[in-house]
Structure 1
Amino acid sequence: MDWNHYRFRSLWPLPVPPARVYAALERAEDYPRWWPQVRAVNRLGDTTAVIIIRSVLPYAMTFTARETRHDPATGVLEIAMSGDIEGWARWTVTAAGTGTLARYDQVVAVNKPLLRRFAVPGRPVFRANHRLMMRAGRRGLVAYLEAD
């Protein structure tokens, strides 16, 4: 097992229509407005940005995100990531009753030296840190969409 390799899946039930959720998720530069752990999104072009994230643990992760799929018809947004983490992430936005289900899938390898050093003992903590970040993101997005 590669202790520096992670697979994550988060499901966000949201009380607004899929088109509004997709529109919010496709504007990565706005993430810091509603997702506290997304500290900065610095656009390098139309499809590339440098993103800095930091959750509860005292470290930040910096990576370059490059859009690999942008498909409003199927509700899919996907990026390739390189930097402190390497891999991909995908949002899939679908209708669910009167609202939306936003599914987030991510497969990454950690490159940040400090995290690699503590890969085995830190793994449960790193996974919990990710869950907290995703929970805060969902809450932030709901508040952002309801205020809009």
Structure 2
Amino acid sequence: MDWNRYRFRSLWPLPAPPGEVYAVLERVEDCPRWWPQVREVHRTDGVTGTVRVRSVLPYDLAFTARETRRDPAAGVLEISTSGDIDGWARWTVIAAGAGSLVRYEQMAEVCKPLLRRLAVPGRPVFRVNHRLMMRAGRRGLVAHLEAV
């Protein structure tokens, strides 16, 4: 087992139609407005940008995100990442009753030296940290969708 590789999956039931949710998720530069752990997003061109995130633990992760798939008809947004984390992340938005169900999937290899050194003892804590970040993201997105 590679202790520096992670696979994450989250499901977010949301009270808004898929088109509205997708429209918010594709405006990545606005994420810091509703997702407190996404500290900065700066577009460098039409498909690439830099991102800095920080959850409960006192460390930042900085990476370059490059759009690899944008498919509004399928409700899919996908990026590749490089920097403190290498891998990919994907949002899939589908209809669910009167609202939406959002599936977030991520494959990541941690490249940040400190986190690599703490891989074995830190792994359970890093997973909880990610879970807390995702929970806060869902709450922030729900509040944002209700305010729009």
Please give the TM-score of this superposition, normalised by the length of structure 1: 1.00
Deviation, structure 1 residue 109? 0.2
Please tell me whether residue 29 in structure 1 is matched to residue 48 in structure 2: no
Task: Output the amino acid matched with 2:52.
Answer: I
Task: Output the amino acid matched with 1:66.
Answer: R
Deviation, structure 1 residue 80? 0.2
Distance 2:145 2:47 in 1: 24
The residue matched to 1:93 in structure 2 has which SS? strand
Partner of 2:109: 109
Partner of 1:96: 96
Distance 2:53 2:61 in 1: 5
Distance 2:15 2:43 in 1: 29
Count of aligned residue pairs for this structure pair? 148
Post-superposition Cα deviations, 1:2-58, rounded to whole Å, max 9, x if no partner, equal: 000000000000000000000000000000000000000011001001000000000
User: Within 5 A, what are the aligned runs for 1:1-148?
Assistant: 1-148=1-148
Task: Output the amino acid matched with 2:110.
Answer: V
Deviation, structure 1 residue 90? 0.1
Identity %: 74
- Where has structure 1 moved over 3 Å in runs of 4 or more? none
Task: Output the amino acid matched with 1:11.
Answer: L
Please give the TM-score of this superposition, normalised by the length of structure 2: 1.00
Distance 1:9 1:71 in 2: 20
Which sections of structure 2, spanning at least 5 residues, go unmatched?
none
